[in-house]
Structure 1
C-alpha cells in the first residue's frame, strides 16, 4: 500500500512539474529592452499625417534585443497591426505595445515590435482591444513595408488582455 501511495505522490509531482514547465513565461514590453538601453517612445511624435503616404521614419533601427527569451514559450500583451489574413482570421501580424503604433504614429524601435505568425490563423474581434499572444519567441528581425521588428513569435494562442 505504501508503494502505491508513494508512486501516486511521485506521479503527481512529476505531472505537476511538467505542467509548470510548459507554462508560458509572462513578459512585458520593458523586458524586451536590454538593461541600460533607453527605448525611444514615438507616441508623442510631431510627424504630419497629411496625404496618403506615411512620412515618418522608424527610429533606432539598430536597437538592441534581449536574447534570453530565444526558444522560450512566452505570453506578451499588445495591440495588433494586421499583415496577412481575411475577414475571418489573420495569420500574420505585428504585435505592438500601444494602439496606433505603425499606423497612426511612427513605428516604435524594432525591439518594441514583434512579428507574429499563426499557422492556422486566429480571429481578431477588434483591433482597438489589447490581446495576449502566446508562442515561441526568437530574437530575430523581420522587415516589411511599415516596420522592422526585433523579435518573432510563432504563435500558438491569442486571448483578450485582462487587467
Structure 2
C-alpha cells in the first residue's frame, strides 16, 4: 500500500506527496493554529446586547446625516430628538458612545491580529493536521493548488475562514 503524507510547516507551507517512509509530524487540531496571545483582548463591542449594538449603529448613522446637513428642518429636528433619545438610553445602560466609537480602530486591529496571527510555537515544525481540501487555481508554474480548511464547504462561500484557519497546499 502506498504511504501518502501531508505535513504542514506552519509558516503556510504544506508539503504533500508520496513517501515510502513518511513520518507524521506533531498532530494538531485547528484550534492550535491561532496565536493564543492574540486571542485575548478587550473588545467592548462583545459586551453589547444586539439591541445596544443596533443603537450604537443608529447613533453613527444619525450623526452622519446631521453632519451632511441633508433633509428639511423638520426632518433634522426629528433626527436630533431620536439621536438624543438613543444616546440617553445608551448612557442609562452605562455605555459611553463616544468612547466606544473611539475604540473602533483599536478593536478592528486586534480582531485582525487574532484572525491572522499563527501560533509561533509551530513555526518551522512539521505537523499533521486533518482537514478538507478545497481546489484552487493552479500556480503560475502549473502546479495544482488546494486550501486545507477545518470544515467541509469552507471557502466555497462567503465569508471565508480567517487566514489562520486556512493552509495553502501545493501538490
> If the length of structure 1 is used for normalisation, what is the TM-score?
0.39
Q: Which has the larger radius of gyration?
A: 2
Say which structure, 1 or 2, has more relative contact order (CA 8 Å, 6+ apart): 2
